[in-house]
């Protein structure tokens, strides 16, 4: 087939550095003339190379070699690093060129604003565009309630610090939860109560008791593709939690930074069940786009707006104008919607492969979590193994993962939980990586058993 010949030709040029990372490939017409074939043949060849993450396309510009593509020779696959540790977005699928165009355009559009201090709350035109964007996530609000922040973590840190209208001071968090929130709680010496989240969901009885008997100002939750478990609440669970919060005068901080990856349009955020201000909605663009942008948003009730903006002003004056402008252009152009469709497909495929590998390779004594979409999942190691020991052992096998111990409040800490992220692992390496993990579990269990037997 001619398209395969074209693919081999391009692959060879990349492997031999004749086409370097970031180089633009020949146009479809030029390559069709070179190989005396149809444009459709070249399009198919380029499409297949995209699937292999060797090249990527830029609308109205052409095809380019992936900046971070690393060549490999046959037989080297097993020796490569398998990175289940890194939790940033897939580097080979990021919209570098598209966003470069948006940055360049933003410089022209906002050149005057860049020489003055901007609105603490964010550029109004971006907030108006974000309000339209949020409608696709079933979050209906107005630009006046949206605050642009330097990643959702900035908003969370400020919420931990600020007094709330209910006059309460303590915090309730899922266990485990995002490491950065745990650090914010420790740094500000806030009293926090935990509620365990398992494969069966959250402990609703404990949650209600905490709301009822403790001085809880807000409950922090990641409602979709939770970090680190990968768990997503059902609509019934979300509605129940909002009802409990209303009953006991507790606010909810709903961190929906993975919501864009949810292809199930029937899933609602908690915000949809109480948009009045009881549920404070936050999201970030880091996990689905470029983490270096540090852009996020919070939908803030009127009762908190003044104090929140005062605290934000004290931390950074305002979020950078250039990145705000670029995001506005990226959203308006339709590039974001096209990018998200691609991200949903990539991460869904990876998550499916991960769950399949878990079922095929992990021993019954190792429990695992996660969904068929999103970044995260966990493995609970069988006793007497512990996460720190196991991670050190697997690093020698070039397999990397994270110790979930730091994602717990002190009284909930577990020594046996590891977190895996598939976002930066190539599809063909996922099964190999899980098989290595399974082999590592069996080998360490056998070693421990042998040692115990000799001691007796």
Q: What is the DSSP letter of 381?
A: P
- 311 and 214 share one domain: yes
Give me 134's structure tokens.
């949020």
pLDDT tens digits, one per residue of 398-431: 999 999 999 999 999 999 999 999 988 999 999 9
In this prediction, residue 78 carries a pLDDT of: 43
Given a cut of 50, is residue 238 above it in pLDDT? yes
Q: What is the mean pLDDT of residues 168-192?
A: 96
Given a cut of 60, is residue 172 above it in pLDDT? yes
Among 447, 373, 450, 386, smallest CA distance to 416 is for 386
Q: CATH no. for residue 410?
A: 3.90.1150.10
Q: What is the mean pLDDT of residues 258-270?
A: 89
- Among 333, 355, 384, the domain-final residue is 333
Give strand ranges (E) for 342-421.
Answer: 367-368, 376-380, 399-400, 402-403, 417-421
Is residue 31 classed as helix, strand or coil in its secondary structure? helix
Is residue 92 classed as helix, strand or coil in its secondary structure? helix
Task: Give strand pairing partners of 198.
Answer: 201
Given a cut of 90, is residue 111 above it in pLDDT? no
Q: Is residue 58 part of a domain?
A: yes
- 161 and 290 share one domain: yes
Given a cut of 50, is residue 241 above it in pLDDT? yes
- 314 and 434 share one domain: no
Q: CATH no. for residue 281?
A: 3.40.640.10
- 390 and 290 share one domain: no
Give strand ranges (E) for 74-144.
Answer: 82-83
- Among 37, 71, 105, the domain-final residue is 71
Among 256, 223, 242, smallest CA distance to 133 is for 256
Q: What is the largest CA-CA distance in the chain?
A: 78
Domain span including residue 374: 337-455
Question: What whole-number percentage of the chain has pLDDT above 90?
Answer: 63
Q: What is the DSSP letter of 407?
A: G
In this prediction, residue 117 carries a pLDDT of: 74
In this prediction, residue 204 carries a pLDDT of: 97
- 290 and 368 share one domain: no
Q: Is residue 79 part of a domain?
A: no
In this prediction, residue 67 carries a pLDDT of: 57
Q: CATH no. for residue 26?
A: 1.10.10.10
Exposure of 79 in the CB half-sphere (CA atoms within 13 A): 5
Task: Give strand pairing partners of 412.
Answer: none
Exposure b/e, 61-78, CB count within 10 A at least 16 = b: eebbbbeebeeeeeeeee
- 208 and 326 share one domain: yes
- Among 280, 311, 333, the domain-final residue is 333
Question: What whole-number percentage of the chain has pLDDT above 70?
Answer: 94
pLDDT tens digits, one per residue of 22-65: 788 999 999 999 999 999 999 989 988 887 778 877 767 788 88
Q: Distances in Å between the alpha carbon of 2 and those of 11, 133, 279?
A: 14, 42, 57
Q: Choose the weakest-confidence range: 64-68, 90-94, 301-305.
A: 64-68
How does residue 216 score in pLDDT terms, banded at 50, 70 and 90?
very high
CA triple 362-395-360, angle to 5 deg:
15
- 308 and 270 share one domain: yes
Q: Is residue 387 part of a domain?
A: yes
Among 114, 7, 12, smallest CA distance to 63 is for 7
Given a cut of 50, is residue 454 above it in pLDDT? no
Q: 12-17: long-range contacts at Cβ-Cβ below 8 A with a sequence spacing of 24 or more? A: 14/54, 14/65, 14/69, 14/71, 15/71
Q: In total, how many domains does the chain have?
A: 3
Q: Could you give the residue ranges of the DSSP H alpha helices within 118-203?
A: 124-135, 152-161, 179-187
């Amino acid at each position: 087939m001619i398209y395969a010949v074209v693919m081999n030709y391009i692959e060879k040029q990349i492997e031999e550095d004749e086409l370097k990372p970031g180089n633009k490939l020949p146009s479809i017409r030029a390559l069709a003339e070179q190989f005396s074939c149809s444009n459709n043949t070249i399009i198919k060849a380029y499409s297949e190379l995209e699937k292999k993450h060797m090249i990527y396309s830029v609308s109205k510009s052409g095809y380019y070699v992936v900046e971070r593509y690393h060549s490999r020779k046959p037989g080297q696959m097993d020796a490569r690093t398998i990175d289940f540790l890194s939790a940033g977005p897939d580097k080979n699928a990021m919209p570098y060129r598209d966003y470069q165009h948006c940055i360049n355009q933003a410089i022209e559009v906002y050149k005057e604003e860049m020489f003055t201090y901007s609105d603490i709350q964010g550029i109004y035109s971006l907030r108006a565009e974000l309000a339209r964007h949020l409608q696709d996530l079933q979050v209906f609000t107005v630009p006046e309630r949206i605050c642009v922040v330097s990643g959702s973590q900035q908003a969370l840190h400020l919420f931990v610090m600020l007094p709330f209208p209910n006059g309460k001071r303590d915090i309730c968090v899922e266990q485990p939860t995002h490491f950065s929130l745990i650090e914010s709680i420790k740094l500000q010496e806030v009293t926090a109560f935990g509620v365990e989240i398992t494969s069966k969901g959250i402990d609703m009885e404990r949650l209600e008791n905490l709301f009822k008997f403790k001085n809880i100002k807000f409950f922090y939750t990641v409602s979709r593709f939770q970090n680190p478990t990968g768990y997503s609440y059902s609509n019934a669970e979300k509605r129940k939690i909002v009802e409990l919060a209303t009953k006991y005068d507790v606010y909810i901080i709903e961190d929906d930074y993975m919501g864009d990856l949810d292809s199930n349009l029937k899933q609602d955020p908690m915000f949809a069940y109480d948009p009045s201000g009881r549920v404070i909605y936050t999201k970030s663009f880091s996990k689905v786009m470029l983490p270096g942008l540090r852009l996020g948003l919070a939908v803030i009730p009127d009762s908190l707006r003044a104090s929140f903006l005062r605290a934000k002003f004290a931390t950074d004056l305002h979020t950078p104008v250039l990145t705000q402008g670029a995001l506005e252009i990226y959203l308006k152009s339709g590039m974001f919607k096209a990018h998200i469709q691609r991200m949903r497909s990539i991460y869904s495929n990876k998550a499916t492969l991960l769950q399949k590998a878990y079922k095929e390779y992990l021993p019954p004594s190792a429990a695992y979590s996660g969904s068929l979409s999103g970044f995260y999942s966990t493995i609970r190691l069988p006793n007497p193994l512990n996460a720190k020991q196991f991670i050190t052992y697997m690093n020698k096998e070039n397999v990397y993962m994270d110790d979930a111990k730091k994602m717990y409040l002190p009284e909930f800490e577990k020594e046996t939980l590891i977190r895996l992220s598939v976002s930066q692992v190539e599809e063909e390496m996922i099964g190999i990586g899980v098989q290595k993990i399974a082999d590592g579990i069996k080998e360490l269990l056998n070693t421990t058993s042998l040692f115990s037997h000799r001691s007796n």
